[in-house]
Structure 1
């Protein structure tokens, strides 16, 4: 960003924005040109009742693009990658932490990204690792059901991982039509007619499965239980490789979370 101010001072103000990545970049723009670091950056729906000044930041795509272009130019390409990834994480106060990183990066340059133990860098790297690890796990933990000729699945991740698993499932099921609904982040990856799109959806009602699908599900659960070796059962080991928080959406172990009524 030409004419960027190198220093910003703490200010008793809270920024609010629309929750989009472009909106966050506009918060960075506001901070830089106002020469201030807000107390917090919150989504509009999370705006608290407070006596502190609240500054609504309107999303301006021109400003957002200026900030986006400035990150690899003034810091590094790695900095932009880190910012875009951590923005999708469940890191507490991620917007404020990312702003602090960018303000320092504008002053110090790309070398900041190599200071792995730095108080600003460490939480971001930990959040990135957590998100990418969860995305890797869910490539194997997503369970689809055939509903009316299309595949549907529900997931409840901690992070917003749909952008990081979309390519995997599109390549794997490129001849199918499918939807993965992220119940946590109220979004859905929809793939149909050769096109993939991530949509913001508050709620999805998945149609009842057919008798044929029900039979296949029963066979899968029977297979899973049959191949288990009772003498080698190790619940702790299973939870290490298959974290319990994913079980409610995994057919073969969902009954362990919500036992079927007698």
Structure 2
């Protein structure tokens, strides 16, 4: 008996899903939103904006909030579940790279970062598609510019961090970046220095990253005035640390080529604001002297004691 295709009734025919609805209209009176200053708190505020349908007149951290005269103030406690819901929902209108840029903009500590992120998210929701290449929009251009600045600062921190070894086998480094890049460099240092305990401390934001050979955690210090890198005395540093510093400085002095000195280019790649935490830029405890075990022979310099090869024989 031949098989016959089963015909579905009209009611069972699959229908293509409708286009995703955009963001709801914000018809309620505007509000001055405040949050706890965390990225999860900001995502909670963004959810609340559409839940209450009340546009933000401002979004500010509660500790530094300044409310307006005509907008109602509203403080939102961080809700991890709502924040995760918003974070995952952003992938419906943008890819993971564009979403990551929003987090980088938040870490930039720009004065208008909260409203900038909200306007970008609102524009993407109402467009129903990725807007990362819509450079005609000023907010998109600003997001892209801040993300690029964050990337450069992250790259410099990964290159310019200098550790000092303490008496308890802890490698300590102090940084003072323009942006809050510690969350972005954590993975790099955890992978690269997985066999040693280390602490990277941001003296401007008064917190650091601590790796204990198993995991990397955010740590904060109770001291009101954190010590500078130069305040780590010999009672804290390993006794061999001055020798390591001297060897590091000697290495840079010997690989330097005075004839190719270009301070303008040097400062472009290594800005002055990083120099106070770089070992090679600290005052020399021992004056640099060129290698002395050289002797001139027939217009050439060779190392003392090095055996010279005989001159090649001329062909007859």
Distance 1:178 1:121, change over 3 A: same
Match of 1:170 in 2: 190
Count the aligned residue pairs.
255
Name which structure has the greater RCO, CA cutoff 8 Å, separation 6+.
1
User: Which of the numbers 202, 218, 223 marks the counterpart of 2:251?
Assistant: 223
Worse overlay, 197-206 or 140-149: 197-206
Match of 2:213 in 1: 193
Match of 1:160 in 2: 180
Q: CA deviation at 1:4?
A: 7.2
Match of 2:135 in 1: 116
Match of 2:48 in 1: 30
Alpha-carbon distance in 1 for matches of 2:28, 2:270 = 43
1:251 partnered with 2:270: no
User: Which of the numbers 192, 216, 235 marks the counterpart of 2:263?
Assistant: 235
Alpha-carbon distance in 2 for matches of 1:105, 1:240 = 36
Q: CA deviation at 1:104?
A: 1.1
Partner deviation per Cα, 1:180-220 (whole Å, 9 max, x = no partner): 01122332111113211223446555563233101221232
Unaligned runs of 5+ in 1: 257-262
Match of 1:105 in 2: 124
Alpha-carbon distance in 1 for matches of 2:116, 2:54 = 14
**Larger radius of gyration between Structure 1 and Structure 2:** 2
Considering fraction of residues, name the structure with more helix. Answer: 1
Alpha-carbon distance in 2 for matches of 1:76, 1:202 = 40
SS in 1 for 2:279: coil
Alpha-carbon distance in 2 for matches of 1:244, 1:12 = 45
TM-score normalised over the length of structure 1: 0.86
Distance 1:8 1:200, change over 3 A: farther
Q: CA deviation at 1:223?
A: 3.1
User: Which of the numbers 46, 59, 66 marks the counterpart of 2:64?
Assistant: 46
Q: CA deviation at 1:151?
A: 0.3
Q: 1:116-135 alignment to 2 at 5 Å?
A: 116-135=135-154
Unaligned runs of 5+ in 2: 1-19, 285-316
